[in-house]
Amino acid sequence: MLAISSELPIVDCQLIRFGVISEEEARRRILETVSPLDERAVPVAAALDCFAAEDYFARLPLPAFDNSAMDGYAVVASSCKKGGRLRVIGEQPAGPDRKLCVGGGEAVRIFTGATLPQGADAIVMQEDVTRHGTDISVNVDVEAGEFVRRCGCDLAEGQMILARGDRIRAATVALLASQGFADVIVGGKATAAVISTGDELVKAGEELQAGQIYDSNSALLGALLQRCGVSATVVEHCRDDRKSLDDAIKRGIKNHVLIISGGVSVGEHDLVKEALHEVGAKIEIWRVAVKPGKPFLFGWFESETVDSAGDTPAGPTGTMPVLHKCFVFGLPGNPVSAFVTFLQFVRPAILRMMGAMNLDLPQVPAKLAVGLTSDGDRPHYIRGRLEHGKFMPFGRQESHALFGLSQANALLRVGVGQSLKADQIVDVQIWD
């Protein structure tokens, strides 16, 4: 039950009408509310972990021309028998095509990546020949195609190399570069602010008094944001009083995403809902049937700003009013609850804003090391270790147990009433 003390401002009825909703509904409503940010062009070298906003197709085949896979000699295989002697008629290093032509009884000295001379259909490794001045004798049998990298054998011109919504990985960056793309069009860049609330919180480096704890959620949420490719532009700590919370929220909502940790539960010191409501945020969700993380909150705030470019005359004033939307996530203060709700609700929303197609955490099958039964009324995310295909719950399964979480590398969702047996194959979520 929501307790309201007489000193607190009267709570608007909007705040009381919330029922606990299912995880699936929460996720659906969040993903329906958030939308992709404006696309942008970034240099390929800076596109790591961005999401492609267009489909990309090969402009060039790979390899782009027939070339040598070895340092050696380009030959005509049919005239190159073990023990035979060939005359070396020229040299083709990697680089400009010297347009050499090789015939029977001849060889061209060649190096890795160099264009295959006309007429040649095989390369003999330099280790397999003996050099005698301008001749070589061949010490092996040679077959057509040996050590030749044929044009297009890896990738054909026009083949899709990157699909809209795909994450750009290190090798994708290389592939785009191999095609001569200087820039790539990717999803928008989200900015995020993190506010940690709580009178008990102390910043790292400061001295702890009795009853105080260090703020670990700011660090946790900053790290989880980084994993999504977003760096928190603002990280603030504020006390459980409305003035500092209101001020911090007003600063935070200038970003695309505002994450507030703590103060979203039902105690008298949980002021986040009222504060958000007061600044005009629309609260869509408060409380989700998930363990840990039930007090999770989601809402959004919209404001009119002026386009900073200002040089695109759109009206009499010459400035363009732009609607700025900030999506607000209130996560419970307990570190494991903050972690689980971030991964289940905040991460997919941010990925959607950034133009990602796949919003799910990677899942891998694992053999359950012990039997597990859920007797609660909410799905339970069990933290554990996934090692050699086996999942073992690890540490205390309570929402404050940060050490256990730090040792875990996988989450197992146990549904309401679900009973899982030892050795059963289950899907676990991974995040690192």
Q: Which residues bind Mg ion (CB under 5 A)?
A: 198, 262-263, 333
Q: Report how far apart, in Å, the C-alpha atoms of 420 and of each of 186, 364, 368 are.
A: 42, 16, 8
The answer to whether the Cα torsion of 385, 387, 391, 393 is positive or negative is negative
- Contacts with ligand AMP by CB under 6 A: the residue count is 17
Q: Does residue 332 belong to the site contacting ligand AMP (CB under 6 A)?
A: yes
* Residue 321 CB coordination number (10 Å): 12
Maximum C-alpha span of the chain: 102
The H-assigned helical ranges of 180-333 are 217-227, 242-252, 272-278
For residue 46, give every residue at least 6 positions away whose Cβ sits within 8 Å of its Cβ, in sequence order, or none: none
Q: Does residue 196 belong to the site contacting ligand AMP (CB under 6 A)?
A: yes
Residues 126-165 that bind ligand AMP (CB under 6 A): none
Give residue for tokens 């990546």: 113
Q: CB nearer to Mg ion: give 194 or 420.
A: 194
Give residue for tokens 């990697």: 94
Whole-number minimum distance, CB 267 to ligand AMP, in Å? 6
For residue 255, give the 3-state DSSP assignment.
coil
Q: CB nearer to Mg ion: give 42 or 266.
A: 266
Taking the C-alpha atoms of residue 166 and residue 181, their distance in angstroms, rounded to an integer, is: 17
Q: Does residue 63 belong to the site contacting ligand AMP (CB under 6 A)?
A: no
Whole-number minimum distance, CB 244 to Mg ion, in Å? 13
Q: Does residue 200 belong to the site contacting ligand AMP (CB under 6 A)?
A: yes
List of long-range contacts for 387-391, beta carbons under 8 Å, 24+ apart: 389/365, 390/366, 391/366, 391/367, 391/426, 391/428
Q: CB nearer to Mg ion: give 330 or 333.
A: 333
Q: Does residue 215 belong to the site contacting ligand AMP (CB under 6 A)?
A: yes
**CB under 5 to 8 A by kind: which of ligand AMP, Mg ion, none does 335 bind?**
ligand AMP
Whole-number minimum distance, CB 15 to ligand AMP, in Å? 16
For residue 294, give every residue at least 6 positions away whose Cβ sits within 8 Å of its Cβ, in sequence order, or none: 20, 287, 288, 332, 337, 378
From the list 8-16, 109-117, 213-221, 241-249, the region that binds ligand AMP by CB under 6 A is: 213-221
Interaction mask 345-384, ligand AMP, x per CB under 6 A: ----------------------------------------
Among 213, 322, 364, 425, binds ligand AMP (CB under 6 A): 213
Q: CB nearer to Mg ion: give 229 or 263.
A: 263
Q: CB nearer to Mg ion: give 72 or 198.
A: 198
Q: Does residue 293 belong to the site contacting ligand AMP (CB under 6 A)?
A: no
**CB under 5 to 8 A by kind: which of ligand AMP, Mg ion, none does 334 bind?**
ligand AMP
Among 79, 126, 212, 216, binds ligand AMP (CB under 6 A): 216
Taking the C-alpha atoms of residue 129 and residue 74, their distance in angstroms, rounded to an integer, is: 12
Interaction mask 380-409, ligand AMP, x per CB under 6 A: --------------------x---------
Q: What are phi and psi of 193, to 5 degrees?
A: -120, 145
Whole-number minimum distance, CB 172 to Mg ion, in Å? 42
Nearest to 341 by CA among 285, 278, 303, 302: 285
Q: Does residue 341 belong to the site contacting ligand AMP (CB under 6 A)?
A: no
Nearest to 23 by CA among 355, 411, 366: 411
- Helix (H) or strand (E) holding 383, with range, is strand 380-387
- One-letter amino acid of 330: G
Residue sitting closest to ligand AMP (CB): 333
Which residues partner with 283 through β-bridges? 299
Q: Does residue 217 belong to the site contacting ligand AMP (CB under 6 A)?
A: yes
Q: CB nearer to Mg ion: give 262 or 393.
A: 262
Among 67, 179, 255, 334, binds ligand AMP (CB under 6 A): 334
Counting Cβ atoms within 10 Å, is residue 327 exposed (0-12), middle (13-18) or buried (19+)?
buried
Q: CB nearer to Mg ion: give 262 or 335.
A: 262
Q: CB nearer to Mg ion: give 139 or 244.
A: 244
- Helix (H) or strand (E) holding 96, with range, is none
Q: CB nearer to ligand AMP: give 196 or 429.
A: 196
Whole-number minimum distance, CB 194 to Mg ion, in Å? 15
Taking the C-alpha atoms of residue 166 and residue 184, their distance in angstroms, rounded to an integer, is: 12
Interaction mask 239-278, ligand AMP, x per CB under 6 A: ----------------------xxx-x-------------
Counting Cβ atoms within 10 Å, is residue 186 exposed (0-12), middle (13-18) or buried (19+)?
buried
Residues that bind ligand AMP (CB under 6 A): 196, 198, 200-201, 213, 215-217, 261-263, 265, 332-335, 400
